Structure 1
Amino acid sequence: MNIQTTLKLCSVAALAVALSACVRVSTDSGDNAAAQADAAAETLQDAAAGAEPADAFLARLARHCGQAFEGRIIANEPRSPEPHAFEGKTLVMHVRGCDDPTRELRVPFHVGDNHSRTWILTRTDSGLRLKHDHRLEDGSDDPTTMYGGDTATAGTAQRQEFPVDQASIDTFNARDGLSVSVTNVWAMEIDPGQRFLYELSRPQDDLNPQGRLFQVEFDLTRPVDLPPTPWGY
């Protein structure tokens, strides 16, 4: 076999591989393929722009400003004999506070008819801060509110983790039954146009012999009707 024939065969093989790849892509549903393309394009834009992970994460979430999405519990370990307070309730996140999306985003988290919770993500000099703003129905502060923490590492455009801060530890220690929360680590993940994840975890220790993992996943492919205004806003 001469060199020219070999090159022709290689070209045919390469074309076959390329065509098979195109066929695989075309079998995806249009909406799913478009969402995947959007997510991939944004990832490339983040890398090309040299955005820091904290900024890229905020930008990904800000793409959904003004939209609401329904979620479901995908992890709740260890399970309690009693049903979790969220079980059987409609869980909805609403990307709502977008006045200055490069510095702060506010995301109310509605649990059935309870509209007390709002996640506040703030850009800091070193990363991101997550706070949980809890309100009573009259709009006043819940006795346990504004707890959370700052990122301790750069994280990624997809995932950010927030170890509990000292102010929150002091709050938990001051209230009966909340001392198990002094080792909390919260996390959020986002795949634009696909999914958003809220997570609470605790390591195994004397206070939490079995550790803790709680996750709610939201479907970003299907916006839902906007929920009521959260309490206090």
Structure 2
Amino acid sequence: MTLRQAIIIIAIFIASPIISQETIPSESFWNTLKSHCGKAYEGSLVLPEEDESFGGKKLVMHVKSCSQNEIKIPFYVGDDKSRTWVLKKNQDIISLKHDHRHEDGTEDDVNFYGGTASNAGKEDIQFFPADVETQKMIPGAATNVWWITVNDSTFSYNLRRLGTDRVFKVVMDLTKPIAEPTAPWGWVD
């Protein structure tokens, strides 16, 4: 064995633990999102520009609850506190569900729809195609794909219904935390 071969073998041996300790993209995504736990942010509707339900209303997200495998993010639309995005992590895969409540806290008839990522995604974006449960609950949503992006300055929540013109995007400014809002409808600590 030459000196050069020995150096290469030693370099590979030393580098091996570093390679095996690389962070999985979904774990990086999760940790970035979790770093905002307890904070609230205001944002704006990007698409569709003229939306009756969301247009012109104050949009706020509150990363209200974080555990090792679950993050709950209430999403407020004006005075409407009915929506919470629920992200769950199972090993390296993240799922997104939508918890919808009435003002008295009872569940909406259309509740806990969403999807599960098909892979570990990327550290700044995760995709959630509609799951079978969602397809059965909302047949028209069978081709829904939701995705969330997060980086140092923005969080975006997105929806595209493939094969249609349905598209939705809100972007939250993560550089300016705001006062924590009151609890969403039906919230139990």
Question: In which range does the TM-score fall when normalised by the shorter chain?
Answer: 0.7 to 0.9
Superimposed CA distance per residue, residues 72-130 of structure 1 (whole angstroms, 9 cap, x where no aligned partner): 01121xx77xx4300111000000111x1x31110000000000100010001350010
Q: Partner of 2:123: helix, strand, or coil?
A: coil
Moved over 3 A (4+): none
Helix, strand or coil at the partner of 1:137: coil
Equivalent in the alignment of 2:22: 50
Give unpaired runs (5+ residues) of structure 1: 1-46, 174-178
Counterpart AA for 1:147: Y
CA distance in 2, matches of 1:56, 1:48: 15
Whether the 8 Å contact between 2:82 and 2:102 is mirrored in structure 1 is yes
| AA aligned opposite 2:157 | Y
Aligned pair count reads 169
TM-score, with length taken from structure 1: 0.69
8 Å CA contact 2:95, 2:115 repeated in 1: yes
Question: Between Structure 1 and Structure 2, which shows a larger proportion of helix residues?
Answer: 1
Q: Please tell me whether residue 113 in structure 1 is matched to residue 79 in structure 2.
A: yes
State the shift of 1:49 in Å.
4.9
The residue number in structure 1 matching 2:162 is 203
Task: State the Cα deviation string for residues 191-211 of structure 1 (Å, max 9, x = none).
Answer: 03x00000001222xxx2xx3
Of the three residues 173, 184, 189, the one matched with 1:230 is 184
Matches of 1:126 and 1:156, distance apart in 2: 11
Q: Equivalent residues in 2 for 1:8-23 (5 A)? A: none
Matches within 5 A, 1:60-75: 60-75=32-47
Amino acid at match of 1:131: K
CA RMSD, Structure 1 to Structure 2 (Å): 1.7
Alpha-carbon distance in 2 for matches of 1:217, 1:49: 32
Counterpart of 1:225, as a letter, is A
Amino acid at match of 2:62: H
CA contact (8 A) 2:27 2:92 kept: no
Residues 1:133 and 2:92 aligned together: no
* Distance in 2 (alpha carbons) for counterparts of 1:229 and 1:85: 21
Q: Which amino acid in 2 is paired with 1:61?
A: L
Query: SS at 1:118's partner residue?
Result: strand
Counterparts of 1:151 and 1:123, CA distance in 2: 10
More strand as a share of residues: 2
Which secondary structure state, in structure 2, belongs to the residue aligned with residue 84 of structure 1? coil
| Amino acid of the structure 1 residue aligned with 2:178 | V
- Cα shift at 1:48: 9.5
Q: Indicate the SS of the match to 1:138.
A: coil
Q: Higher Cα Rg: structure 1 or 2?
A: 1
Q: 1:182 offset after TM fit, Å? A: 1.9
Distance 2:107 2:121 in 1: 31
